[in-house]
Amino acid sequence: MPRAATETPARWDRHAIAAEIKRRGMTLKGLSARYKIGSSTCRLSLVRPSPTGDAAIAHFLGRPLFELWPDRYDRKGNRLVPMKKRLAAARKRKRPRRAPD
């Protein structure tokens, strides 16, 4: 059975987010203008993390950040750092300092 136009998707992906913004009569560029951020910030937010664009989209849709992007944010709205970056940062901290000459 197709879902009604007013139902929200069970799982948000970039296509569902863009469709919901359009359904509410807004464009990604218009959303960027409304929140006074860069003209492509909201568009880029659909393909890669952009805290400013993510927040603008979440506010406009009335949804928490973790619901729209569970791979980017925790329930408190804090950004999740990818494991690769965490490991690289940990390795960097463990390197012994060189003795000054």
User: To 5 degrees, how large is the angle CA 24–CA 15–CA 35?
Assistant: 50
- Mean pLDDT for the stretch of residues 30-44: 95
Q: Residue 11 — pLDDT band, cuts 50, 70, 90? A: confident
| DSSP SS3 for 79 | strand
Average pLDDT of span 70-74: 90
Reported confidence tier of residue 1, pLDDT bands at 50, 70, 90: very low
Can you name the residues that pair with 79 across neighbouring β-strands? 73
Which of 1.10.260.40, 3.40.50.720, 1.10.3720.10, 1.20.1050.10 would CATH assign to domain 14-94?
A: 1.10.260.40
Domain boundaries, the chain: 14-94
pLDDT(3) > 60 = no
Q: Count the neighbouring beta carbons within 10 Å of the beta carbon of residue 49.
A: 15
